[in-house]
Amino acid sequence: MLHDYIELGHTGEHIASIGLGTWGIGGLAHPAVDSDDAWVKAIREGIEAGMTVIDTAEFYGNGHTEELVGKAISNLERGAVFLISKIWYSHLSADSVIKAADSSLSRLGTSYIDLYLIHWPSQNVPLKETLGAMERLIDMGKVRYIGVSNFDVELLGDAMTSLSRHEIVANEVKYNILERDVERELLSFCKKESISIVAYTPLAKGSLAKDEKLKEIGMRYGKSAAQVALNWLISHKGVMAIPKAVNQIHIKENAGAMGWRLSEGDIMSIDKLFPLPYSGPGED
């Protein structure tokens, strides 16, 4: 098992820098996996490889993904994994938050969720109402930490000021070498406020695994293009990644992105090879 951690916010708790994404598990057909047992096996293999953070959501597979995660961790001590789950935007009223959390806990087969996120912001329910209910979940012992997903700087600031007793510790956003919009404002804001970034779609849906420029850099480390792409992400302070994999080879490959770091020179080279697109006057 590889060991490579980041601190979650400024909680003092350290979690694996690369975890397991579960979008599509148990909900969408995949040619490499044809049964729930195969999905459970894949999750367990990821945990055994050191990816002990599992990211899921009530929306995934209409709840079935959480059930599969629950089955995968049922033979483990609860503290061996760090569970992230998310509330769908239609469940953000105070009562719905509590009910949604209870349903997720039941499907996951656990008494608490480590990190509970608002999946997408809502224009219909005030943030203060949603986050007040999430704070109640912490007070009830059903959730340990709270955060958000897909929030920009303005919304993140609103969320921070909407809390009275606890803090936002993470923001889950799309982030990879090809999609670097978070670097315009969000990344520096989160660093300043000690809010961790959880990067989803970190391999740009697999396209980075085939990139010849990343393969060339990886050869100097004995690593693949995908491992270089993941390591580039976690080389940023306060950033962790949650790739999804369905077979043992890719699971081990993702885990192999931990335990080492690209040189500063190679990070700069990657930044130049995949520049952040200009966004100036006249652009949408």
Supply angle C-alpha 15, 179, 189, rounded to 5.
Answer: 60
Q: What is the mean pLDDT of the chain?
A: 93
So what's the pLDDT on residue 84? 98
CA distances from 41 to 17, 47, 80, 109, 193 (A): 21, 10, 17, 17, 38
Top-confidence range, 39-43, 136-140, 248-252: 136-140
List, by residue number, the catalytic residues. 60
pLDDT band at 32 (very low <50, low <70, confident <90, very high): low
Region 35-42: what's the mean pLDDT?
91
240 forms beta bridges with 198
Contact call for residues 253 and 245 (beta carbons, < 8 A): yes
Residue 205 has pLDDT above 90, yes or no: no
Which whole number is the average pLDDT over 73-86? 97
Question: Residue ranges per domain, the chain?
Answer: 5-206+229-259
Mean pLDDT, rounded, for 61-80: 96
Of the chain, the percentage scoring pLDDT greater than 90 comes to: 87
Has residue 280 got a pLDDT over 70?
no
Coil vs helix vs strand at 20: strand
Give the lowest-confidence range in 74-88, 123-137, 199-213, 224-238.
199-213
Superfamily of domain 5-206+229-259 in the CATH hierarchy: NADP-dependent oxidoreductase domain (3.20.20.100)
Helix, strand, coil percentages, rounded to 5, for the chain: 45, 15, 40
How far apart (Å, rounded) are the C-alpha atoms in residues 237 and 6? 8
Q: Compute φ and ψ for 257, nearest 5 degrees.
A: -80, -10
| C-alpha 166, offset from chain centre | 20
pLDDT given at position 1: 62
CA distance 88 to 62: 10
Angle at alpha carbon of residue 259, lines to 236 and 204, rounded to 5°: 50
Q: Quick check: 31 pLDDT over 60?
A: no
- pLDDT range class, residue 278, cuts 50, 70, 90: low
Q: Is 3 exposed, middle or buried (0-12, 13-18, 19+ CB in 10 A)?
A: exposed
